[in-house]
Amino acid sequence: MCKKTELNNGLTLVTNHMSNMESMAIGIWIRTGSRNEDEKNSGMSHFLEHMLFKGTPSRSCRKLKEEIEGRGGSLNGFTSEEVSCFLAKVSFKHQDIALEVLSDMVLNASIDEKELERERGVIIEEIKMYQDLPNHQVHDILAEIMWPGNSLGLSIAGSIDSVSSVLRKDIIEYRNTNYTPQNIVVALCGNLDHSAIESRLKKIFTGTIKGKIKPVEAFCNNQSKPRMKILCKDTKQAHLCIGLHSFGKNHKDRFALTILHIILGANMSSRLFENIREKKGLAYEIGAEVKRYNETGAFVVHAGTEHKKAREAIRCILKELKGIKEKYVTLGELKRAKEFFKVQLLMALEDTVEHMLWLGDYAASLNKLPDREDIIKKVESVTADDIKRVSQSIFNSSGLNIAVIGELEDREQREIEKELVL
């Protein structure tokens, strides 16, 4: 059973008691990410994430890891556009020490100058590595053209220039501004006692001052025609991304969009995989994903193909998108997609870490608890009419964005531009 409590200092605690589970998953979520940055301090959230693992006044970098891994657990963290998360998986018997270690990292990280310089080099190499991976870089290019002038268009890792210029005082100021109790969600899943954890958090966060949630700049979509950016590069394959603006995490049509995504590109029985890869042989890998942010989002198709097949692959992908908004999906497709969603969700929630990530994301993003049965009920209620209506609202030429990395001749580029029609 999921429970949610807000402490007097604004910190939110969410838990789910999963009896008979040996593992315990703990996550401390901060409502800050790359959306809270600008071009000058791009990558700050990600840099800070790295620094939190480098030690506190009471625990060295090695000690932090040993406290968790020495008890058979694991310690990790990640940064996204809207949140940063620090998580541990341990035996339920070690939940107290794991919670203490994570809280120590979040509240007391030393941000040592020597460690900062060492980590700066690591992150710059990480950025260079991503730039050498066209299947990753193409997503960054797509973000640039989809979200111009908005922080959503910035790389989570930042740029070499922005990371090179970050100072210790900048990181400390960023942490002090954003890592406040009102911006923090603590999520736990496993064999636990909600009240006992609440009492423990009150002691750990005693003396912390209630902060403010700093609103981010909302994205206003004023795109009126297709956009395309091609990076000519000597690669083994051409890599492409097609992106279209969709809607936010709490939109009334989010469940229809989920089913639309499954039908089109979530697995090997999807339309894109079956028609583009299997029947036409135009791509080795192809799929789709839905990016969901607080007030906006994107539907993205990605593929890797031979350079000479890139134009045809784009044409056929657009044909699939156009087809699903012009003709009703079959009852069989609808049934299979709903079953896929339901079973994938239920299987994921058997794992304490996956359950914690689901629970924490809901609480951090929407400030509420997820209701599994309600979600399944709403997915089951999605109709073919809903799929058609949502696809018609999203799949339009005016909101079309295409990023390509590969060796494309000028003639091919011009031909692609002529065919950007949905």
| pLDDT computed for residue 47 by the predictor | 98
Over 80: is that where the pLDDT of 215 sits? no
Of 204, 219, 238, at which residue does a domain stop? 204
| Of 96, 58, 389, 410, the residue nearest 256 (C-alpha) | 389
Determine, yes or no, domain membership for 216. Answer: no
Query: Structure tokens of 285?
Result: 């890998």
Residue 117 falls in the annotated catalytic set? no
- Strand 285-292 with 296-305, pairing: antiparallel
Are 176 and 40 members of one domain? yes
Determine, yes or no, domain membership for 31. Answer: yes
Which residue type occupies 2? Answer: C
Are 20 and 160 members of one domain? yes
Are 43 and 190 members of one domain? yes
- DSSP annotation of 275 reads I
Number of residues in the chain:
422
33, with CB counted inside 10 A (0-12, 13-18, 19+), is buried
Over 90: is that where the pLDDT of 213 sits? no
Lowest-pLDDT choice from 207-216, 253-262, 288-297, 366-375: 207-216
The tens digit of pLDDT for each residue in 235-249 reads 999 999 999 999 999
Q: Can you give the residue range of the structural domain that contains 44?
A: 2-204
Are 63 and 190 members of one domain? yes
Are 22 and 123 members of one domain? yes
Are 158 and 237 members of one domain? no
The tens digit of pLDDT for each residue in 56-105 reads 999 999 999 999 999 999 999 999 999 999 999 999 999 999 999 999 99
Q: Give the percent of the chain with pLDDT over 70.
A: 99
Q: Report CA torsion sign: 248, 324, 284, 237.
A: negative
| pLDDT computed for residue 214 by the predictor | 72
Determine, yes or no, domain membership for 221. Answer: no
* Strands (E) located in 206-284: 227-232, 238-247
| H helix or E strand, kind and range, residue 297 | strand 296-305
Determine, yes or no, domain membership for 6. Answer: yes
Are 197 and 293 members of one domain? no
Are 193 and 328 members of one domain? no
Region of 55 on the Ramachandran plot (φ > 0 left; ψ -120 to 50 alpha; else beta): left
| pLDDT computed for residue 160 by the predictor | 97
Q: What is the rounded average pLDDT of the residues 276-304?
A: 96
Determine, yes or no, domain membership for 261. Answer: yes
**Candidates 49, 81, 82, 115; catalytic one:** 49
Residue with tokens 């301090």: 41
Q: Report CA torsion sign: 59, 61, 64, 67.
A: negative
Query: Structure tokens of 83?
Result: 């949140």
Are 105 and 189 members of one domain? yes
Are 195 and 245 members of one domain? no
Determine, yes or no, domain membership for 51. Answer: yes
Are 376 and 309 members of one domain? yes
Are 282 and 165 members of one domain? no
Domain tally, the chain: 2
